[in-house]
Amino acid sequence: MKIVLVSRLDNEKALRYTASLARSLEDQGHRVTFEKGTAEYLSRDGVLFEEIVSDLVVVVGGDGSVLLTVYRMKKQSPILGINWGEVGFLADLEPEEAGAFFASLRDGFLVKPRMRVSLYVDGEHLGDALNEAVIVTERPAKMLRFAVSVDGIPAERFRADGLLISTPTGSTAYAMSAGGPIVDPQIEGFLLIPLAPYMLSSRPHLISTRRSLEVSLETEKPAHLVIDGQCTFELNKKAKVEVKKSNDPAIFVHTGKTFFEKVNYKLRNL
């Protein structure tokens, strides 16, 4: 099996663990390659994120490392996260669990797709988000005005510090901190959460992916669109953001842990 290893680069222990994991996987007969940044730290040959095509991509890091990997891969390969971060909702295995799991790989593995959202601004595709896209003002302490339309019908208009456009996967991330609900990832919907809205009546919305969703800026203030914390785009003052279900979902290895089992464990051990 061809396996690409990705490590967070700001933690020496994570890098050493990744190097040790590579040796173990090679001993088991797997072909191991490193992502280029990881490879440089370990003095090995590597491959760019954009060029990864593999049977399995193993990410040693937290949710940020997983999001970076998904965002930068042009073709989605199955991902397995080994948690070397604070919470790790996207990393199913703890380091001490990895050995037993990899020993079972000879029998193959199951995968589960995770919906992503595609963001278009004035018709231009900017990228896909696994967790969320957030629209925020360029200047702190300034509010933005938003208009939301569903199937071409005005559905909401409000003022807020910003707006989160989250996937069900992202409901346990920024969206949860902003007061949104935890959403079963088997539900395919767009979760809209106003950030610090001016009116208490401006509440989160969960909208089916089968509907047409558009968010318009109605402001004279400059704003930014940030996708999964990885890339930032400047929005013009009257930008229209079209939200669609991506045709290219992220693919995660199923380790046997259910979503609600992970939520219960992670939230009790923060």
Active-site residues: which are they? Answer: 63
3-state secondary structure 197-235: CCCCCCCCEEEECCCCEEEEECCCCCEEEEECCCEEEEE
What's the token pair of residue 250? Answer: 């992220």
What's the token pair of residue 209? Answer: 């992916």
Of 266, 244, 239, 238, nearest to 129 by C-alpha is 244
Of 253, 262, 259, nearest to 112 by C-alpha is 253
d(CA 221, CA 162): 12
Q: Is 228 exposed, middle or buried (0-12, 13-18, 19+ CB in 10 A)?
A: buried
- The answer to whether the beta carbons of residues 84 and 11 sit under 8 Å apart is yes
Element spanning 41, H or E: helix 36-41
What's the token pair of residue 137? Answer: 């003002």
d(CA 176, CA 195): 11
What's the token pair of residue 262? Answer: 């992970």
- What is the pairing mode between strands 56-61 and 79-83? parallel
Of 120, 116, 117, nearest to 240 by C-alpha is 120
